[in-house]
């Protein structure tokens, strides 16, 4: 029996999970149209590689990744590309984003694909490449590209692999039902992860004790594998990455650090299953298990749902009663958000569609002034000070927000849940994070503009210095030629040019000689160019690393700038090598 540790804070909201696991994972009829957003993950949006009117097969690549932190998109079914345009996506604001619409032909015809059963003899680099090509991103959280997280090129050995089967939020049972029915494939996916990460010493599946059927389903498949199923008491939010790491290992992840920095990788159960399908079956990520629940639907069940399926399609199939419920939530009641329209599509991170009745989740009551009760601080699993963060967010005091570790907030909603004044605390934190990221992006732009200006100014000054040196050389050459001509005796013969003509010819020859750049000057100029390019490359790589760390939308632009600078630097080094050979 593995020892576990208790995290601070947390709450115990009603679970409401049993109603959606009375039946197995169901299959939905294929929708007439599917809408695939090009950004379903942290990082740069994918770039379309198909055209309107083009026929596609299920699993075919329809959008290629744009940079390192990006993933491709695949057709969820066979049909015809009917639109490439901005559409509403799964976001509380109803924002528009680039999408590809596919009109289904009903045949659901796959591309030719085959997997690799003997993955132990495949290099980790190749396995990671296959994961990336399959379009897999984290399916239990923010959607970080899995190939980046699993990249074996890091100089940080991984000692512990944690598989997150917690699924602590109320109503959601997507992972629970997947484990019950697909335990063997999930364990096979864990073995693939182990091979990619160099066979870590510790492999643990963290799961709460309110999933006895899933725990029982895992038991025969982990026997003799070295994989531990670690069961711990149910509490929300035990599924947060930092919280789960502490529960299983007692190690605290430092602020601003990634699990890999302390030798750990944390992967969701759904992601593990998708990796198994990608490696062994050769299937890209085109569907996921999604819970449809809430008293406003007549059928509460989990479904294997195609990516891009409209939410309205699920609701119609599950006898949604619009009069009984006032909202449709993507995700759970704690971290989910109300959809402005049921026409938005299911994406790779959609684990639940919740249609609660008015009795289950009443309309939000007006917020009252804070009474400073301190209950939010007691409930915070990250040991933050929600009350102070709320005040600073209202005042837009970004410096104090960062000093109070705003970005350590996992937006679990525990503080809002216990607040007697009904203050939507998490909404303030999300808005403040967005403002800070925007300010940081603007600072990066300003710094980049200043560096460009300074480099441009230096380049102009250098060009002026070179021009002045050439003019001085021409003047000196002309004076020398004139002095040499004056010393020669005048020749009156018709065959000899006049003294004036000789001066002109000598001056012209001097100007031509001055214009010719010596090999030493060429070498010096190339060396200056290389030094400047190396400095620009260092700055660009630092900015790219910062953008990846902060999940900035500028990663694709910065990645392209780094590559362009690197190419120019290599060209200059090649020219210098040819000159000095």
> Is-contact 39 46, C-beta < 8 A?
yes
Paired strand residues for 97: 87
Residue 500 has pLDDT above 70, yes or no: no
Q: What percent of the chain has pLDDT over 90?
A: 64
Instruction: Identify each DSSP E strand in 160-281 by its residue range.
Output: 160-164, 202-208, 227-232, 264-268
Residue 427 has pLDDT above 50, yes or no: yes
Q: Pairing state of beta strands 61-64 and 47-48?
A: antiparallel
**C-alpha–C-alpha distance, residues 476 and 117, integer Å:** 78
Query: Which pairs with CB-CB distance under 8 Å and at least 24 residues apart come from 430-433?
Result: 431/393, 432/389, 432/392, 432/393, 432/396, 432/398, 432/401, 432/406, 433/406, 433/407, 433/409
On whether the CB atoms of residues 80 and 55 are closer than 8 A, the answer is yes
Section 555-560 average pLDDT: 80
Where residue 446 falls (left for φ over 0; alpha for ψ -120 to 50; beta otherwise) is alpha
Q: What is the pLDDT at residue 268? A: 94
Taking the domains of the chain in order of start, what are their residue ranges? 18-29+117-317, 365-488+498-516, 517-581
Distance, CA of 53 to CA of 567 (rounded, Å): 37
Share of the chain above pLDDT 70, in %: 93
- Examine the pLDDT at 490 and tell me if it is beyond 70: no
pLDDT score of 499: 53
Q: Which CATH superfamily is domain 18-29+117-317 in?
A: NADH-ubiquinone oxidoreductase 51kDa subunit (3.40.50.11540)
| Amino acid 433: pLDDT | 92
Mean pLDDT of 27-32: 96
- pLDDT surpassing 50 at residue 496: no
Structure confidence at residue 529 as a pLDDT band (50, 70, 90) = confident
| Residue 433: exposure state from Cβ atoms within 10 A (0-12, 13-18, ≥19) | middle
pLDDT in tens, 296-305: 999 999 999 9
Please name the residues in contact with 483: beta carbons below 8 A apart, sequence gap of 6 or more.
Answer: none
Give the whole-angstrom CA distance, residue 522 versus residue 533.
16
> Cβ atoms within 10 A of the Cβ of 548, count?
18
Q: What is the pLDDT of residue 1?
A: 65
Q: Is the pLDDT of residue 564 over 90?
A: no
For the ranges 41-45, 158-162, 454-458, the maximum mean pLDDT occurs at 158-162
Average pLDDT over residues 376-384: 95
For residues 82-92, give the mean pLDDT.
89
**199-208, 241-250, 299-308, 538-547, range with the lowest pLDDT:** 538-547
Using one digit for the tens of pLDDT, what is the confidence trace for 178-200?
A: 999 999 999 999 999 999 999 99
**Residue 492's pLDDT is what?**
47
- In DSSP terms, 203 is beta-bridged to 161, 227
What 3-state DSSP class applies to 453? helix
* Averaged pLDDT for residues 490-494: 49
Q: How far apart are the first and last CA of the chain?
A: 68
Supply the pLDDT for residue 310.
97
pTM of the model: 0.77
Mean of pLDDT over the chain: 90
Question: What letter would DSSP give residue 135?
Answer: T
At 90-143, the pLDDT tens digits run 877 778 899 999 999 999 999 998 899 899 999 999 999 999 999 999 998 778
152 pLDDT band (50/70/90 cuts)?
low
- The answer to whether residues 165 and 269 touch, using CB atoms and an 8 Å cutoff, is yes
- Give start and end residues of each alpha helix (H) in 281-326: 311-317
Q: Which of 44-48, 314-318, 368-372, 575-579 has the lowest mean pLDDT?
A: 575-579
What is the per-residue pLDDT for 533? Answer: 84
- Picking from 540, 536, 530, 539, the residue whose alpha carbon sits closest to that of residue 569 is 530
How high is the pLDDT of residue 128? 94
What gap in Å lies between CA 3 and CA 369, rounded to an integer?
A: 42
Confidence of residue 497 (pLDDT cuts 50, 70, 90): very low
Tell me the backbone φ, ψ of residue 264, rounded to 5 degrees.
-130, 155
Q: Which of 199-208, 248-257, 448-457 has the highest mean pLDDT?
A: 199-208
Q: Residue 534 to residues 401, 403, 459, 573: CA-CA distances in angstroms?
A: 36, 34, 16, 11
Q: Is the model's pLDDT at 578 over the cut of 90?
A: no
């Amino acid at each position: 029996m593995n020892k576990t540790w208790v995290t601070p804070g947390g709450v115990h909201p009603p679970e409401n999970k049993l109603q959606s696991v009375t039946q197995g994972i169901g299959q939905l009829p294929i929708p007439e149209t599917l809408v695939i957003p090009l950004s379903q993950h942290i990082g740069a949006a994918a770039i379309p590689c198909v055209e309107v009117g083009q026929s596609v097969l299920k699993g075919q690549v329809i959008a290629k990744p744009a940079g390192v932190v990006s993933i491709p998109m695949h057709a969820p079914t066979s049909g015809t590309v009917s639109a490439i345009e901005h559409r509403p996506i799964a976001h509380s604001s109803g924002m528009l984003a680039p999408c590809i619409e596919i009109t289904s032909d009903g045949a659901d015809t796959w591309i030719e694909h085959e997997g690799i059963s003997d993955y132990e003899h495949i290099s980790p680099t190749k396995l990671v490449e296959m994961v990336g090509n399959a379009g897999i991103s984290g399916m239990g959280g923010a959607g970080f590209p899995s190939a980046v997280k699993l990249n074996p090129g890091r100089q940080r050995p991984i000692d512990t692999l944690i598989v997150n089967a917690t699924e602590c939020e109320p109503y959601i049972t997507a992972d629970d039902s997947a484990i019950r029915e697909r335990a063997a494939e999930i364990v096979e996916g864990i073995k693939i992860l182990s091979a990619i990460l160099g066979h870590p010493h510790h492999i643990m599946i963290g799961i709460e004790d309110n999933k006895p059927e899933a725990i029982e389903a895992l038991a025969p498949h982990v026997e003799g594998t070295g994989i531990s199923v670690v069961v711990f008491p149910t509490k929300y939010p035990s599924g947060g990455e930092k919280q789960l790491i502490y529960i299983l290992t007692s190690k605290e992840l430092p602020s601003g650090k990634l699990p890999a920095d302390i030798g750990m990788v944390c992967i969701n159960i759904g992601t593990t299953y998708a990796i198994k399908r990608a490696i062994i079956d050769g299937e890209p990520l085109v569907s996921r298990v999604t819970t449809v629940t809430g008293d406003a639907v007549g059928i509460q069940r989990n479904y294997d749902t195609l990516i891009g399926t409209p939410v309205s399609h699920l609701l119609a199939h599950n006898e949604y009663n619009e009069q009984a419920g006032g909202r449709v939530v993507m995700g759970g009641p704690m971290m989910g958000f109300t959809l402005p329209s049921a026409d938005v599509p299911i994406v790779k991170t959609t684990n639940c569609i919740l249609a609660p009745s008015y009795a289950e989740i009443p309309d939000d009551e007006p917020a009252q002034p804070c009474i400073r009760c301190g209950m939010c601080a007691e409930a915070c699993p990250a040991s933050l000070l929600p009350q102070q963060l709320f005040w600073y967010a209202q005042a837009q005091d970004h410096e104090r927000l960062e000093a109070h570790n705003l970005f350590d907030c996992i937006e679990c909603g525990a503080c809002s849940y216990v607040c007697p004044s009904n203050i939507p605390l998490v909404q303030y934190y999300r808005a403040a994070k967005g403002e800070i990221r925007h300010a940081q992006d603007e600072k990066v732009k300003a710094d980049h503009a200043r560096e460009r200006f300074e480099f441009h100014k230096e380049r102009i000054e250098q060009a002026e210095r070179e021009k002045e040196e050439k003019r001085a050389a021409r003047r000196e050459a002309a004076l020398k030629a004139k002095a040499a001509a004056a010393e020669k005796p005048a020749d009156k013969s018709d065959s000899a040019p006049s003294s004036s003509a000789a001066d002109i010819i000598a001056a012209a020859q001097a100007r031509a000689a001055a214009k010719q750049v010596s090999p030493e000057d060429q070498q010096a100029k190339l060396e200056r160019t290389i030094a400047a390019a190396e400095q620009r490359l260092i700055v660009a790589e630092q900015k790219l690393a910062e953008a990846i760390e902060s999940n900035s939308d500028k990663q694709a632009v910065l990645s392209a700038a780094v590559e362009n600078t690197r190419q120019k630097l290599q060209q200059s080094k090649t020219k210098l090598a040819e000159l000095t050979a």
